[in-house]
């Protein structure tokens, strides 16, 4: 697996949009994020530029002056890396400890428990 760049919570919001759209101009990203955050366009441009510098996005000049941004890492790659990092950092790598903690702290429906059982049965 390629080296995963460190992505902040704010940068992750930008990545989610690009993953959803597959590619996007900065104006498309700004348009979406100003609706859901209190960020100014300049802040969003800064986040985009950081992601390019970190290697999470690549920028290609389109016709005209605008750049189109593409993800270098997939959402699945990021999710896998983030899950492993979280598991190591918070639960010392113990999946059973993490699941026990989530089950004790969260309301888990019978349907969710059945889905988990089915998933475990398929993996074993």
* Same domain flag for 57 and 80: no
Q: Is residue 111 part of a domain?
A: yes
**Do 22 and 66 lie in a common domain?**
yes
Give the pairing of strands 67-71 and 24-25.
antiparallel
In a domain, 96, yes or no: yes
How far out from the chain centre does Cα 59 lie?
19
**Which residue, 71, 89, 110, sits at the end of a domain?**
71
> Would you place residue 3 in the very low, low, confident or very high pLDDT band (cuts 50, 70, 90)?
confident
pLDDT value at residue 56: 96
CATH number at residue 36: 1.10.10.10
Chain segment 69-123, per-residue pLDDT in tens: 999 999 999 999 999 999 999 999 998 898 888 888 888 888 988 998 898 888 7
Domain range for residue 28? Answer: 9-71
Same domain, 49 and 95: no
Per the CB < 8 A criterion, the answer to whether 82 and 16 are in contact is no
Count of domains forming the chain: 2
**Reported pTM:** 0.82
Task: Name the DSSP class of 6.
Answer: P
pLDDT above 70: residue 1: no
- Tell me, yes or no, whether 92 and 116 share the same domain: yes
Q: Alpha-carbon distance 97 to 93, whole Å?
A: 9
| Residues 25 and 60 grouped into a single domain | yes
Question: In Å, how far are 4, 49, 93 from 122, measured between CA atoms?
Answer: 29, 42, 22
In a domain? residue 40 = yes
pLDDT tens for each residue of 4-40 = 999 999 999 999 999 999 999 999 999 999 999 999 9
């Amino acid at each position: 697996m390629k080296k995963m760049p460190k992505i902040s919570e704010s940068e992750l919001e930008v990545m989610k949009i690009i993953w959803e759209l597959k590619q996007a101009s900065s104006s498309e990203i700004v348009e979406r994020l100003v609706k859901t955050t209190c960020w100014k366009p300049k802040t969003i441009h800064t986040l985009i530029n950081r992601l390019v510098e970190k290697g999470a996005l690549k920028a290609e000049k389109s016709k005209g002056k605008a750049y189109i941004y593409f993800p270098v890492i997939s959402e699945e790659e990021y999710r896998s890396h983030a899950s492993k990092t979280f598991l190591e950092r918070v639960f010392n790598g113990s999946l059973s400890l993490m699941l026990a903690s989530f089950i004790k702290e969260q309301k888990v429906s019978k349907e969710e428990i059945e889905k988990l059982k089915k998933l475990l049965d398929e993996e074993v």
